[in-house]
């Protein structure tokens, strides 16, 4: 029995310090996330983060040397959580490769309907175009997702050459991400997400099973 919910943040405990410090650190990141989700990247200023977290501006500087460092930590905390979830899903003991692929699809499409993901990821996509750090960290996340998909594809259709499996994983991963804009939180098509999940699972599994090396030749 897998859990299809990805926690908002996964924070690695910092060495030394009081428990209060640990809470403060996490509380700041949660406030920043909430700001980004509810008001967009323009609202992500130290002043507003301070207000949001009921703290003082100066205190942010105690936890994070700079705004950039704060954003880095936030991104790390969000992404780490995904990486952990992916690992759990694809290594679920006793489940067939096909079932684990379906679970992966469920996890991602389910996650897409959360407010956090629907709002946060488009912000990240936009930011990644002009911020090298965000770009790199996002690439790592998606690489990891594709590696996971790739493993499952290899189990389901071992005939497929490695480079073609990679493109197939890309196609599947990209297809799912695209739903964010249409069937995410409070989007016009959220209500249809259950059907979309069914459609996606069937379509992807069929694609993985039926694809032959020749299908990748341009027509």
Partner DNA sequence: TCCAATTTTAGTCAAGTGTCAAAATTAGGG
Partner DNA sequence: CCCTAATTTTGACACTTGACTAAAATTGGA
Interface residues with a copy of itself (CB under 8 A) are 39-42, 118-119, 122-123, 125-130, 139, 142, 167-168, 170-171, 173-183, 188-189, 192, 194-203, 207, 215-219
Strands (E), 39-140: none
Nearest to 171 by CA among 194, 200, 134, 198: 200
Binding of DNA at residue 21 (CB under 7 A)?
A: yes
Q: Report what 183 binds from DNA, a copy of itself, none; CB cut-off 5-8 Å by kind.
A: a copy of itself
CB atoms < 10 A from the CB of 99, how many?
14
Distance in angstroms (rounded) separating the CA atoms of residues 213 and 160: 6
Closest approach of DNA to the CB of residue 198, in Å: 44
| Choice from 20, 93, 162, 186 touching DNA (CB under 7 A) | 20
Least distance (Å) between residue 161 CB and a copy of itself: 12
Q: Which of residues 65-94 bind DNA (CB under 7 A)?
A: 65-68
Contact present, 111 and 6 (Cβ < 8 Å): yes
Neighbour-count burial of 89, counting CB atoms closer than 10 A to its CB (0-12 exposed, 13-18 middle, 19+ buried): buried
**CA angle, 163 then 168 then 169, to 5°:** 95
CB of 56 to a copy of itself, least distance (A): 25
Query: Distance between CA atoms of 166 and 28, rounded to whole angstroms?
Result: 38
Q: What is the smallest separation between the CB atom of 11 and a copy of itself, expressed in angstroms?
A: 25
Please report how close the Cβ of residue 194 comes to a copy of itself at its closest, in angstroms.
Answer: 6
Residue 19 interacting partner from a copy of itself, DNA, none (CB closer than 5 to 8 Å by kind): DNA
Measured from the CB of residue 21, what is the shortest distance to DNA in angstroms? 2
Q: Nearest CA to 110 among 8, 190, 202, 207? A: 190
| Stretch binding DNA (CB under 7 A), from 16-24, 29-37, 172-180, 194-202 | 16-24
Binders of DNA among 26-55, rule CB under 7 A? 44-48, 55
Do the beta carbons of residue 10 and residue 84 sit within 8 Å?
Answer: yes
Residue 7 binding result from a copy of itself, DNA, none, given CB thresholds of 5 to 8 Å by partner type? none
Give me the half-sphere count of Cα atoms (radius 13 Å) on the Cβ side of residue 189: 14
Instruction: State the residues that interact with DNA by CB under 7 A.
Output: 16-22, 24, 44-48, 55-63, 65-68
């Amino acid at each position: 029995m897998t859990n299809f919910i990805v926690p908002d943040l996964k924070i690695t405990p910092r060495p030394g310090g009081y428990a209060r410090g640990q809470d403060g650190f996490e509380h700041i990141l949660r406030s920043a996330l909430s700001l980004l989700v509810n008001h967009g990247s323009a609202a992500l200023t130290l002043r507003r983060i301070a207000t949001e977290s009921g703290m003082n501006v100066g205190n942010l500087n105690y936890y994070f040397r700079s705004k950039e460092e704060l954003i880095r930590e936030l991104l790390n905390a969000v992404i780490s959580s995904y990486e952990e979830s992916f690992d759990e899903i694809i290594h679920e003991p006793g489940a067939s490769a096909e079932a684990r692929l379906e679970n992966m699809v469920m996890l991602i499409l389910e996650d897409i309907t959360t407010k956090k993901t629907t709002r946060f990821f488009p912000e990240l996509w936009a930011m990644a175009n002009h911020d090298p750090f965000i770009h790199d960290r996002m690439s790592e996340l998606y690489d990891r997702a594709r590696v996971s998909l790739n493993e499952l594809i290899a189990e389901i259709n071992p005939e497929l050459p490695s480079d073609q499996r990679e493109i197939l994983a890309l196609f599947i991963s990209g297809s799912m991400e695209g739903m964010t804009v249409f069937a995410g939180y409070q989007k016009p098509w959220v209500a249809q997400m259950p059907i979309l999940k069914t459609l996606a699972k069937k379509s992807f599994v069929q694609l993985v099973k039926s694809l032959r090396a020749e299908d990748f030749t341009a027509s």
